[in-house]
Amino acid sequence: MLGERLSESERWPEILGKFSGWEVVNEGMNGREIPESPWFLERFDHLLSESAPVDFVFLMLGSNDLLNAYRPDMEEIGTRMERFIKHVLKHPAVNGRGEMVFLMAPPPTDIGCCGEEYTCYDRESHKFGACYRAIADRYGLRFADTAGWELPLAHDGVHLTPEGHVKFANQVWTLMQKCAVLTG
């Protein structure tokens, strides 16, 4: 918001790729909401098929669904995410293996800094962790709640700063190393 997109070298997926030595495909996009329409679901399917075989799928969506709502409602966002998770699990690259999917609760927003009328979004954003953890538990997904990661946000109270991207990549790398210990 009122700024430029960070360069590839400053975004967490590319930083994670450097840490891990893995090819990390970044499909993050400012403004992206949880895919719901047939066109967006088909686009997701195509992107995942192009990337196959995959070891993990990281999903951190929902902030834009929250911020684009006239009345923010985590229950509604959770319902959308659950429908999307069911779709992801049916994809041949995932084939029902929930342990391949990391559902990540987005960091809570701080857009109340832009005006008191926005604090309702911040309050609702603190519910991502509980909502997404319940979904992850129902479908056997891996889960991470980024709320405890102390990630610095940019001036808009939504997007990560470059430092936030580095901290995020470090946290994800730690999760990945734990997975290697558990599965390796």
Q: pLDDT, tens digit, for every residue of 56-115? A: 999 999 999 999 988 899 999 999 999 999 999 999 999 999 999 999 999 999 988 777
Residue 74 burial (CB < 10 Å; 0-12/13-18/19+)?
A: buried
Instruction: Give residue-wise pLDDT tens across range 45-62.
Output: 999 999 999 989 999 999
Q: Are strands 57-59 and 142-145 parallel, antiparallel or unpaired?
A: unpaired
Q: Is 50 exceeded by the pLDDT of residue 132?
A: yes
pTM for the structure as a whole = 0.90
Which pLDDT belongs to residue 181?
52
Domain residue ranges in the chain: 8-183
Amino acid at 56: F
Cβ contact 30:181 at 8 Å:
no
Instruction: Residue 18: count other Cβ atoms within 10 Å of its Cβ.
Output: 12
Query: Using 50, 70 and 90 to split pLDDT, how confident is the model at 183?
Result: low
Indicate the CATH number for domain 8-183. Answer: 3.40.50.1110
Q: Which residues contact 16 (CB under 8 A, 6 or more apart)?
A: 22, 24, 169, 172, 173, 176
